[in-house]
Amino acid sequence: MELVAKAPTRADLAGGTLDIYPLYIFEDGGITVNAAIEVFTYVRIRVRDDGFVTISSEDTGDRMEAPSVEELDPNGPLPLLARIVRFYLRGKGMGIDLRTSSDAPPGSGLGGSSSLLISLSSALNHLTGGRYTPQEIIDIGANLEAQTIRIPTGKQDYFPAMYGGVNAIWFDVDGSRIEPLIEDEDLLRDLESRIILSYTGISRASAKTNWRMVRNYIDGREETIRNMRMIKDLALRMRDSLKRADFDSFGHLVGEEWRCRRGLARGVSNRRIERIMAAASSHGAIASKICGAGGGGCMITVVPPDKRKEVEMAMEGAGARIMDFRIARSGVEVREEG
């Protein structure tokens, strides 16, 4: 038997970093706003009879294997995947061949590793009888990722991969919850027509940037704390604008969020990012912001629909690669083959 799973990635719209423990505790609760997008991660699992385990990534070319699940090295070339497999298959006496791939560019800032975590965890949960709920899979995934990267990790990226849609995700002392913001199909298409997704051509790693933001906050850096509180306020306002389908207000809030985010830590922006954003702005774009922690990867640009083509051409001229953008209406999918 084979299992095939896929999950969407996400474009974060506002509130990122507020999903990292313990920042949302210090700020009396956090909120992030994001949209699941049809840039997918994929998992294919073939069950073996001999207990042997192989894991391979088509994107990086990395591969690891072991005679059993228990002997998988969690510090090997694919540490997060190894930890997920070890957790869900421990004590099962089961072997698998696992292959993974992704539509997202390397270091995209679209939450690709979190999407892959959700697709793999959901497939293994299905394989072993569906013991865990979606919320439990998210909580387990956050802990496994923190074990792997050795610093605090946020949870917002898991929700669009699990559920799809355009959502606000709330974080507080009693846990996290998801709130769908737009479910009308006509409104979703209208929002899609106003967003350009592009790749800056710079791969980035979010862990170090996120840690700098957390450290600056804990160290009491006034600019970081002030900007973090402004980002929470902007996320609340963006949630309200999307619920009202006020997409003009939404565009301006994206710009305000980016201006605050640039002040959180060194390295969030750079000359190439600013050059692409300036090209978009000069041809009619309302606002742009980098997806994820910053420093590179993908960005979203909000435009009037009638300016879309003109802005795309200007961004390409400045070095960006335009990507297809469509909101994923549903989350992770798992199916059996054979």
What's the predicted TM-score (pTM) here? Answer: 0.94
Q: Which of 37, 15, 273 is nearest to 154 (CA)?
A: 15
Residue 208 has pLDDT above 70, yes or no: no
Would you kindly state where each structural domain of the chain is located, as residue ranges? 2-181, 185-323
Mean per-residue pLDDT of the chain: 93
Residue range 140-153: average pLDDT?
A: 91
Which stretch of 15-29, 198-212, 297-311 has the lowest confidence by average pLDDT? Answer: 198-212
What digits encode the pLDDT tens for the residues 62-113? 999 999 999 999 999 999 999 999 999 999 999 999 999 999 988 898 999 9
Q: With cut-offs at 50, 70 and 90, classify the pLDDT of residue 209.
A: low
CATH class held by domain 2-181: alpha beta
Q: How far apart are CA 117 and CA 310, in angstroms?
A: 37
Of the candidate CATH numbers 3.30.530.20, 3.90.800.10, 3.30.70.890, 3.40.190.10, the domain formed by 185-323 belongs to: 3.30.70.890
Contacts of 56 (CB under 8 A, 6+ apart): 62, 63, 64, 98, 99, 100
Contacts of 124 (CB under 8 A, 6+ apart): 45, 84, 85, 88, 89
